[in-house]
A and B are shown apart, each in its own frame.
Chain A
């Protein structure tokens, strides 16, 4: 069964304190892994797509990496405005009917 697990569930950082969020997955052939950011009361906002192990993408203070079993979202010198829930999702070539399978998210709080 295709599955996505995110850890930790919640993370509290001081402004400037770098850290990483983890997304581990089990799928029958990865088509793509997606990272989203969700603010309270809003829909998810697309951040990155990764397709193959070894791939990395960066955007401002965020950097996403991918291995064969997991992905990391590295946050460098975070600011309070980075506070949000970060969601990871995978899509498989087979099984799950091509759907996006989401993890339950990591709630990040950055204190000034």
Chain B
């Protein structure tokens, strides 16, 4: 069974640009959650999508947005990039969503904002 895949794996952008990250969940999983990981703040929850609907949202500004498609693949978009957006962005999938016993994480996309 293929795991969670994320593309691209590495990305370099400049301030003010926007970026779109992609996540393909494990087959059969309907929930996709996104997280930001930085050395200073650790892992922070961004949002969760379930069956194409945003079900939960963390405390991030509106520049961070996402969507989920009918095949459960999800994209995350960050507009007007800031230096502080440099981080590892992780997505995780599960059958039923947050609180379920097992969430499977992808390898992440490392974003560097210059």
A contacts, CB < 8 Å to B: 31-32, 34, 36, 41-46, 49, 87, 89, 91, 97-105
State A9–B51 Cα separation when bound (angstroms): 37
Query: Counting CB contacts under 8 A, is B92 at the interface?
Result: yes
Query: Counting CB contacts under 8 A, is B26 at the interface?
Result: no
Q: Which of A44, A46, A99 contacts B58 (CB 8 A)?
A: A99
Of residues 45 through 62 on chain B, the ones whose CB sits less than 8 Å from some CB of chain A are: 45, 48, 56-58
A100 vs chain B, min Cβ distance (A): 6
B11-19, B67-75, B79-87, B99-107 - interface stretch: B99-107
Instruction: Tell me the dominant secondary structure on chain B's binding face.
Output: strand
State A109–B88 Cα separation when bound (angstroms): 22
Q: What are 7 A-B interface contacts by the 8 Å CB criterion? A: A43-B108, A44-B105, A46-B103, A49-B102, A91-B98, A102-B44, A104-B42
> Which A residues lie within 8 Å of B21 (CB)?
none
Contact with A along B3-39 (1 / 0, CB 8 A): 0100000000000000000000000000001010000
Top-7 shortest CB links A-B: A43-B105, A102-B43, A104-B42, A99-B45, A44-B105, A49-B101, A46-B102
Given A87-B43, A101-B45, verify A43-B101 contact (CB < 8 Å).
no
**Pair A41/B99 contact, Cβ less than 8 Å:** no
**Pair B42/A103 contact, Cβ less than 8 Å:** yes
Most A Cβ at <10 Å: residue of B33, B92, B98, B99: B99
Residue of B nearest to A34 (CB): B103
> Which B residues lie within 8 Å of A41 (CB)?
107
B81 vs chain A, min Cβ distance (A): 22
State A103–B37 Cα separation when bound (angstroms): 11
